[in-house]
Amino acid sequence: MNAPVRVLLAKVGLDGHDRGLRVIARMLRDGGCEVVYAGLRQTPAMIAATVVQEDVDVVGISLHNGGHLTLVPDVIAALRSQGLDTPVVIGGIIPDRDLPALTEAGVVAVLGPGASEDEVLTAIRQAAQQSH
Amino acid sequence: MSDRAAFDAAYEAAPKRKSSFATMSGIELDPVYGPGEAELPGQYPYTRGIFPSMYRSKLWTMRQFAGFGSASDTNARFHQLLASGGTGLSTAFDMPTLLGRDSDDPFARGEVGKAGVAIDTVDDMATLFAGIDLRAVTTSMTINSPASVIMAMYLVVAEEQGTPRHLLGGTLQNDILKEYQAQKEYVFPPEPSVRLVTDLVAFTTREMPKWHPISISGYHIREAGSSAAQELAFTLANGFAYVEAAIAAGLDVDAFAPRLSFFFNAHIDFFEEIAKYRAARRIWARTLRDHYGATSEKSWQLKFHTQTAGVSLTAQQPEVNLARVAIEALAGVLGGTQSLHTDSYDEALALPTEKAARLALRTQQVIAEETGVANVADPLGGSWFVEALTDRLDAEAEAIFTHLRTLGGGDILPGVYAAIEEGWFQNEIADAAYRAQRAVASGEAIVVGVNGYTNGDDRSETDILYIDHAVETEQLERLAATKAARDDAAVQAALDAITEAAADPTANLMEPLITASRVRCTVGEQMQAMEKVFGTWIEPALP
């Protein structure tokens, strides 16, 4: 029950802005999570394959390029096609008006700029509970 | 002639703006202040500025970065910025273009036209600059991995508009080294990428005397999380690396160094930023003269563009960002910048709306026209505090150069390659970013509206720019139309010539890229033609 939460962190698409993801990686490690850092330019299929290989509890995706409404549903579809119901949390520059569509697509939490460490850790832990 | 007499003569000879150069109460101001032995602007080592008359001759260029959606959307924003008194253009490309991929590449899905303008062929480039006389404006293009291809397309647009190459003025970012370190928009491995940069430097040195072929950029290093000292040191180290590469390619340092320019961040720590710009000028002058043997004063003079810190903007209470931007912009001006972009207050939420972009430009105009800060060069020179901070940043940067030269067996370029390969820059930057995050989390640093003074968050009432998905569909149609209309045999021949030139280390890739652009080869096709020889870069595993 007290096994650390395993989180896959990735960026999808072409965007290279990885400051947020690298800060989140350190934050989650300091908060007791195990981080699988996939990093830049991951495709939905690569993410799904890593989830299987690494047995992760939560997928964290960072986006700063405005492509979230296309790319995030693609990731969730890739996971589901592998029979995975791993919860997906996203972070980055996400306009409020896109939140309903992302929830509809199956995203469990959206962390915007300025989200506190507590908010991030809470969102990841709650997501992990959903996956068990 | 004494330094002072030389200064006075140069100041008198320089043209002046129409202004009284007096305070509001009518006190007439000197062009610069200081005791008899003080360093003077326009003189080595240029700590106080590169021109004796600084902004009395010419204000900085107000260069607002813009790009979104289709080429015609961005063209409309360009016309609006020029009509509002902007004096230079600056182009933001979308992510697929920045990575050398066409809009119909499967990897481009969802990102076409989102964070900048989509450019696939010369036809898009012609639309982007429609109705703009390319000899009357200077154009900055922020692109790196495919910089040579975009430059080639710009040259073809100018050619088709009837403007000869040698009259074109502008700047290409073309700073690939910081991509491996910070912004991560790399395609090829570092060494062939630096060859492409050097080819372009050789080409513009020969053919385009008004062009700046590299904008050596600390901006992205800082945005990725570095400290001011790291931004200063990594950026200048990259500058020295390009100088070494061009010298190794047989170019004369005084032929190309005057055309190198820099791009720094203006973050919120006001005095440290000003000290950073002052230290940068001094270090560049000293190193170009004493280490690389440059003898032309123009080679010693570090020119730079400044942009306020996007990363300092908050999504919470976004209008507070107007205050942050004004303070940061003022630091850039007091630091002697040659051009300035002020961020829009809504950029932590989305790309700027037209109104937000106009307010950002107006902020610069208030500084320029109302505050009087442009009357006197280096107004903070001689402040014990600012001088001490300048010396300290200079020393911190030198320690980093020593580390890189040690890694590189005496030279900076191999040291930079080695440090990229071992992830040294990347980890230094990520560690600094995490320290900054921890300071906010612990309350040691207060960010207004984020972890202090949080009541009154009105971000949901802020109008934001929304890029319609239709942009992607329309761009795909445009690309298909260009592809259908071109001569396939000419396209294939042009692409083969690129691959051949890439395989020959003595060839310059610019002419083959221009030929290919002329026959409507796409950005992606030209990049793939080079990739056959150069391969691709995969970042080392990072913790």
Q: Report DSSP letters for B28-53, one per residue.
A: B--SS---TT---TTSTT-TT-SSSS
Q: What does the pLDDT read at residue B410?
A: 97
Residue B455 falls inside a structural domain: no
Cis preceding linkage at B41, omega within 30:
no
Question: Are residues B110 and A13, on separate chains, in Cβ contact within 8 Å?
Answer: yes
CB B294 within 8 A of CB B257: yes
User: Which among A14, A39, A68 has the least Cβ separation from residue B99?
Assistant: A14
Looking at chain A from residue 24 to 43, which residues have their Cβ under 8 Å from any Cβ of chain B? Answer: 25-27, 37, 39-41, 43
Contact A113 B179 (CB under 8 A): no
A41 found inside a domain: yes
Interface of B with A in 280-299 (CB under 8 A): none
State the average pLDDT for chain A: 91
Task: Please answer whether residues B469 and B114 qualify as being in contact, where contact means their C-beta atoms are separated by less than 8 angstroms.
Answer: no
Helix (H) or strand (E) holding A58: strand A58-63
Q: Domain range spanning residue B403?
A: 54-431
Model confidence at A97, pLDDT cuts 50, 70, 90, reads: confident
Does A122 lie at the interface with B, CB-CB under 8 angstroms? no
Examine residue B516 and state whether it is found in any structural domain, yes or no: no
Q: For the CA atoms of chain A, what is the radius of gyration?
A: 13
Q: How many domains does chain B have?
A: 1
Contact B95 A17 (CB under 8 A): no
Contacts of residue B276, defined as CB under 8 A and 6 or more positions apart, other chains included, come to B228, B229, B231, B232, B264, B335, B393
CB contact under 8 A, A67 and B110: yes
Is the confidence at residue A131, as pLDDT, over 80? Answer: no
B59-74 mean pLDDT: 85
Confidence (pLDDT) at B187: 97
Contact at 8 Å (CB) between B420 and B191? Answer: no
Cα separation, B129 vs B408, in Å, equals 43
> Which of B528, B466, B456 lies closest to B491 in space, CA to CA?
B528
More confident residue, B252 or A39: B252
Q: What is the pLDDT of residues B40-60, one digit of tens each?
A: 999 999 999 999 999 999 999
Residues of chain B contacting A67 with CB distance shorter than 8 Å? 95, 109-111, 114
Q: Say how far apart CA B525 and CA B513 lie, in whole Å.
A: 11
Query: What is the Cα–Cα distance from A39 to B95, expressed in whole angstroms?
Result: 17
What is the per-residue pLDDT across B128-173, written as a single tens digit (0 to 9) for each? 999 999 988 889 999 999 999 999 999 999 999 999 999 999 999 9
Q: How far apart are CA B530 and CA B189, in angstroms?
A: 12
In the stretch 181-200 of chain B, residues with CB closer than 8 A to chain A read 183-186
| Rounded Cα distance, A39 and A14, in Å | 11
Per-residue confidence (pLDDT) for residue A95, from 0 to 100: 84
Contact B216/A at CB under 8 A? no
pLDDT at position A113 = 80
Reading the block at residue B372, the tokens are 């009087």
Quick check: is A32 in a domain? Answer: yes
Minimal C-alpha gap between A126 and chain B (Å): 20
Yes or no, beta carbons of B469 and A69 under 8 Å apart: yes
- Structural domain span for residue A41: 6-115
Confidence of residue B303 (pLDDT cuts 50, 70, 90): very high
Phi/psi at B395 (5° precision) = -65, -40
Cβ <8 Å between A65 and B95: yes
Burial A51-79 (b: 16+ CB within 10 A, else e): beeeebbbbbbbbbbbbbbbbbbbbbebb
> What number of C-beta contacts closer than 8 Å exist between A and B?
106
| Cβ-Cβ contacts under 8 Å for A63 (sequence gap 6 or more) | A11, A12, A13, A15, A71, A72, A90, A91, A92, A93, A94
The nearest alpha carbon in chain A to B94 belongs to A65
Residue of A nearest to B224 (CA): A19
Q: What is the pLDDT of residue B461?
A: 66
Contact A82, A112 (CB under 8 A): no
pLDDT at position B51: 97
Question: What per-residue confidence (pLDDT) applies to B457?
Answer: 77
A97 touches chain B (CB under 8 A): yes
pLDDT at B287 over 60: yes
pLDDT band at residue B334 using 50, 70 and 90 as cut-offs: very high
Q: Mean per-residue pLDDT for B463-485?
A: 87
The number of domains in chain A is 1
Q: What is the mean predicted confidence (pLDDT) over B294-322?
A: 96
Residues of A in contact with B109 (CB under 8 A): 67, 70-71, 74
pTM over 0.90: yes
Kindly state whether B265 is in contact with chain A, defined as any CB-CB distance less than 8 angstroms: no
d(C-alpha B343, C-alpha B321), whole Å: 9
Residue A130 domain-assigned (yes or no): no
- Measure A83 CA to nearest chain B CA, in Å: 24
Check CB contact under 8 Å for A26 and B350: no
User: What's residue B223's pLDDT?
Assistant: 96
Burial B387-408 (b: 16+ CB within 10 A, else e): bebbeebbebbbebbeebbebb
Tokens of A108: 């469990």
d(CA B274, CA B330): 9
Instruction: Check residue B543 and give its pLDDT.
Output: 63
The CATH number of whichever domain residue A31 belongs to comes to 3.40.50.280
Residues of A in contact with B223 (CB under 8 A): 19
Alpha carbon separation from A67 to A48, A71, A73, B188, B254 (Å, rounded)? 19, 6, 10, 24, 45
Closest-CA distance of chain A to residue B225, Å: 7
Q: Is residue B475 part of a domain?
A: no
Question: How far is residue B335 CA from its own chain's centroid?
Answer: 16
- Predicted confidence (pLDDT) at residue B350 exceeds the cutoff of 60: yes
- Which contiguous run of DSSP H or E holds residue B95? helix B95-98
State whether residue B91 is helix, strand or coil.
strand
Instruction: Tell if the CB–CB gap between B184 and A116 is shorter than 8 Å.
Output: no
Tell me how far apart the alpha carbons of residues B73 and B133 are, in angstroms, rounded to a whole number.
18
Q: Does B35 touch chain A (CB under 8 A)?
A: no
Cα B138 from Cα B433, distance rounded (Å): 34
Q: Does the residue B177 lie in any domain?
A: yes
Backbone angles phi, psi at B263, to 5 degrees: -140, 115
Contact criterion met (CB < 8 Å) for A116 and B441:
yes
Q: pLDDT at position B36, please?
A: 86
Beta-carbon separation of B543 and A40 below 8 A: no
Task: Identify the closest residue of chain A to B464 by CA–CA distance.
Answer: A95
- CATH number of the domain that residue B140 is part of: 3.20.20.240
Name the residue among B101, B314, B349 with its Cβ closest to that of A95: B349
Do B101 and B476 meet the contact criterion of CB atoms below 8 Å apart? no
By the CB < 8 Å criterion, does A100 face chain B?
A: no
Q: Is the per-residue pLDDT at B230 higher than 60?
A: yes
Per DSSP, the three-state class of B142 is strand
The answer to whether residue A1 scores a pLDDT higher than 60 is: no
Residues of B in contact with A23 (CB under 8 A): 225, 430, 433-434, 437
CB contact under 8 A, A117 and B543: no
Q: CA dihedral in degrees (B92, B95, B100, B102; nearest 10)?
A: -110
Minimum mean pLDDT range among B22-26, B123-127, B133-137, B265-269? B133-137
Residue A132: pLDDT above 70?
no
Question: Do residue A27 and residue B434 have CB atoms under 8 angstroms apart?
Answer: yes
A82/B63: higher pLDDT: A82
Answer whether residue B346 is part of any domain.
Answer: yes
- Please give the average per-residue pLDDT across B338-346, as a whole number: 94
Mutate to test the interface with B, among A12, A14, A71 (most CBs of B within 10 A): A14
Task: Give dist(CA A7, CA A29) in Å, integer.
Answer: 10
| Among the ranges given (B191-195, B314-318, B511-515), the one the predictor scored with the smallest mean pLDDT | B314-318
**Is A15 in CB contact (< 8 Å) with chain B?**
yes
Which residue of chain B is at minimal alpha-carbon distance from A24? B434
Top pLDDT among B196 and B539 is at B196
Does residue B13 lie within any of the structural domains?
Answer: no
Compute the distance between CA of residue B57 and CA of residue B10 in angstroms, rounded to an integer.
Answer: 12
For residues A61-81, give the mean pLDDT.
91
User: Which pLDDT belongs to residue B349?
Assistant: 82
Q: Which residue of B has its CA nearest to A14?
A: B95
With CB atoms and an 8 Å threshold, state whether B184 touches A40: yes
- Chain mean position to CA B336: 16
- In B59-78, the residues whose Cβ lies within 8 Å of chain A are none
Is the separation of the CB atoms in A41 and A10 below 8 Å? no
Phi and psi (nearest 5°) for B93? -100, 155
Tokens of A113: 């700029």
Residue A79 lies in a domain: yes
Q: What percent of chain B has pLDDT over 70?
A: 98
Mean pLDDT of chain B: 94
The answer to whether position B168 is within a domain reads: yes
